[in-house]
Amino acid sequence: MRVRRFAGVIALSLTAGLALTACRSQPDVAVYVGDRTVSAAEVDAIVRGVNAEADRRIAAFAAARATDPGTLPPPIVRTTGTEVVSLIVLADLGRRVIAERGLTTHPAPADTIAETFAMPPADQYVRLWTDYLTGLQSVAAAEQNRPLTDDEADRLYEAGAADPDVDYDEAVHRFKTQLNLATLFGAQERLAGAMAGADVSVNPRYGPVVLPVVLNGRHLDVAFEED
């Protein structure tokens, strides 16, 4: 994803990318998740649909601004094959962690997600986000609320999560008062652990897996240290 207004996404890079194994390596397959196979054609169709709608909105906004300079920009949502595959993989991993740890499921509100992206709730991309966020927030809800570590706050700052007019010390202070960010890092670690033992293979064309998160309307790529 490269252009978003209002519907921002953080992509938290997981500890290790996944590649297709030798025994399951078909170029027309985007990802294997257990017994499920998702084709490259399926993934590419979702990407084309989302990005075509973004192009349409940009053109419509430009035309509207030509006659009314006060026209507000619509949500502009773009995606990539990497993100779509990541949504598929992490939704599955979220379900596994919930089952294995006996966690309470916290369903993500499809209507709110659809409103954020300005897409119908039945849209396939919205459904992917709904399934994924249901798992993510269910896992995060079981994590301990705590301040961010210095390293976590620093990585958020380096990724551009802070307001441009806020200096480093103030930005770190603000990050550390947002306890939900710490649970997000904790959920990332849980999902990364589940991924290490899961029967999942991702075509290198669509890897590595990332952790997309909507946060304050900002699109960031927050790198995680590798082991």
Residue-wise pLDDT for 157-178, tens only, equals: 876 777 778 889 998 888 888 7
pLDDT digits (tens, 9 = 90+) for 175-203: 888 767 788 888 888 888 888 778 888 99
- Three-class SS state of 12: strand
Q: Which residues fall within 8 angstroms of residue 55, CB to CB, at 6 or more apart?
A: none
Structurally, the chain folds into a number of domains equal to 1
The answer to whether the CB of 185 falls within 8 A of the CB of 136 is no
pLDDT digits (tens, 9 = 90+) for 127-158: 999 999 999 999 999 988 887 888 888 877 87
Q: Report the predicted TM-score, pTM, of the whole model to 2 decimal places.
A: 0.82
The pLDDT mean for the chain works out to 81
What is the extent of the structural domain holding 129? 10-222
Q: Of 110, 1, 89, 116, which Cα lies nearest the Cα of 47?
A: 1
Strand partners, 200: 33
Q: Of 168, 190, 169, 46, which Cα lies nearest the Cα of 119?
A: 46
Cis peptide before 69 (omega within 30 of 0): no
